[in-house]
């Protein structure tokens, strides 16, 4: 059975916090954001517990979450980082391609990064991800540093909201105008 820090459950705390945040946003009529399950095909199922013990992914996933905020299409992926350097290997080319296409359809795409060692959350706009991604493709750094991030896109601490990303999404929208 996987433990809390095994590969299979990595990010589940962040996911739980986001799911609870999204439930609160939906309850308050602010947003409707759904977790997108990764399609799998079970190979082995434990007959006693009915738990899947071996499976394979049917297809590559796109992003973790998709939905709408006050009529605006939104998609994002949640990532964790326990250092001040975020490896771009944590983001897959098909995810970048999906987010790029989503933005071309006038949606908002971003990464929500939990810097666990700092207990901080960061909203990485797709345009910034694309800049870092292209830098890596051009032979530059295959990561970005905490110091390279725009301080205005760190999520504020808000009472009653676990991961208050809507405030920073609003800033993203204002900065696009």
**Predicted local distance difference test score (pLDDT) of residue 46:** 74
Does residue 3 lie within any of the structural domains? no
> What does pLDDT average to over the chain?
87
Residue 158 reports pLDDT greater than 60: yes
If you search the block for the tokens 């977790």, which residue do you land on?
35
User: Measured between alpha carbons, how far is 110 from 129 in angstroms, rounded to an integer?
Assistant: 8
In the chain, how many domains are there? 1
Residue 53: what pLDDT? 72
Structural domain containing residue 107: 10-176
Annotated binding residue 53: no
Distance of alpha carbon 103 from the chain centroid: 15
Determine if residue 62 is labeled as part of a ligand binding site.
Answer: yes
pLDDT of residue 152: 96
CA atoms within 13 A on the CB side of 93: 3
* pLDDT tens per residue across span 80-119: 999 999 999 999 999 999 999 999 999 999 999 999 999 9
Strand order in the sheet with 72-81: 31-35, 65-69, 72-81, 108-115, 120-125
Choice among 58-62, 64-68, 87-91 with the minimum mean pLDDT: 58-62
Is residue 64 part of an annotated ligand binding site? yes
Residue 74 in tokens: 């939104």
| Residue 122 belongs to a domain | yes
With residue 94 as reference, give the H or E element that holds it: helix 93-104
Residue 5, domain member (yes or no): no
What are residue 42's DSSP bridge partners? 55
Report the pLDDT value the prediction gives residue 4, as an integer from 0 to 100.
34
Residue 75's CATH number: 3.40.1350.10
Please, which pLDDT band fits residue 5 given cuts at 50, 70 and 90?
very low
pLDDT band of 151, cuts 50, 70, 90: very high
pLDDT, average across residues 45-70: 76
77 known ligand binder:
yes
Whether 167 and 27 have beta carbons less than 8 Å apart is answered as no
Q: Is the pLDDT of residue 75 over 90?
A: yes
What would the pLDDT profile of 26-57 be if each residue is shown by its tens digit? 999 999 999 987 666 666 777 788 776 766 55
The Cα–Cα gap between 26 and 34 comes to 10
């Amino acid at each position: 059975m996987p433990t809390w820090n095994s590969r299979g459950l990595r990010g589940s705390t962040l996911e739980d916090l986001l799911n609870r945040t999204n439930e609160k946003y939906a309850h308050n009529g602010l947003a409707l954001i759904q977790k997108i399950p990764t399609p799998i095909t079970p190979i082995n199922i434990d007959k006693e517990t009915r738990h899947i013990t071996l499976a394979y992914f049917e297809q590559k996933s796109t992003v973790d979450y998709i939905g709408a905020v006050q009529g605006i299409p939104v998609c994002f992926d949640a990532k964790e980082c326990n250092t001040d350097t975020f490896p771009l290997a944590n983001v897959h080319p098909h995810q970048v391609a999906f987010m790029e296409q989503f933005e071309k359809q006038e949606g908002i795409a971003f990464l929500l990064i939990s810097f666990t060692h700092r207990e901080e959350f960061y909203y990485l706009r797709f345009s910034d991800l694309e800049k870092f991604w292209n830098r890596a493709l051009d032979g530059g750094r295959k990561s970005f540093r905490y110091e390279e991030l725009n301080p205005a896109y760190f999520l504020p601490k808000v009472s009653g909201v676990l991961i208050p990303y809507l405030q920073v999404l609003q800033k993203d929208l204002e900065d696009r105008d």
